[in-house]
Amino acid sequence: MGELTPDKTPSRIAGMFDAIAPRYDLLNHLLSAGLDRRWRVKAVAALDLRGRACVLDLCTGTGDLAVTAARGRPGVSVIGVDFAGRMLALAHRKVAAARLNGVVRLVRGDATRIPLADASCDAATVGFGIRNVADPAAALAEIARVLRPGARLAVLEFGQPRIPGIRTLYAWYFKYLLPLVGRLVSRHGSAYSYLPASVGTFPPPAEFAHMVAATGFSQVRAVPLTFGIVYLYTAERL
In the chain, how many domains are there?
Answer: 1
Query: For residue 4, what pLDDT is reported?
Result: 65
Report yes or no on 217 lying in a domain. Answer: yes
Task: Give dist(CA 55, CA 69) in Å, integer.
Answer: 8
pLDDT of 187 higher than 90 = no
Instruction: Report phi then psi at 162, rounded to 5.
Output: -90, -20
CA–CA distance from 138 to each of 120, 230, 233 (Å)?
Answer: 18, 22, 17
Instruction: Report phi then psi at 129, rounded to 5.
Output: -125, -20
List helix spans (H) across 32-99: 35-47, 64-70, 85-97
189-213 average pLDDT score: 91
What residues make up the domain containing 46?
10-237
Query: For residue 132, what pLDDT is reported?
Result: 96
Report yes or no on 3 lying in a domain. Answer: no
pLDDT, tens digit, for every residue of 203-229? 999 999 999 999 999 999 999 999 999
Report yes or no on 1 lying in a domain. Answer: no
pLDDT, tens digit, for every residue of 65-115? 999 999 999 999 999 999 999 999 999 999 999 999 999 999 999 999 999
DSSP per-residue codes, 7-24:
P--HHHHHHHHHHHHHHH
3-state secondary structure 182-220: HHHHHCCCCHHHHHHHHHHCCCCHHHHHHHHHHCCEEEE
- CATH number of the domain that 24 lies in? 3.40.50.150
> Which residues are 54's β-sheet partners?
77
DSSP 69: H
pTM: 0.94
> Which residues are 158's β-sheet partners?
230
Closest by CA to 46, choosing from 225, 238, 228, is 225
pLDDT of 1 higher than 50 = no
Closest by CA to 226, choosing from 34, 76, 11, is 34
Report yes or no on 22 lying in a domain. Answer: yes
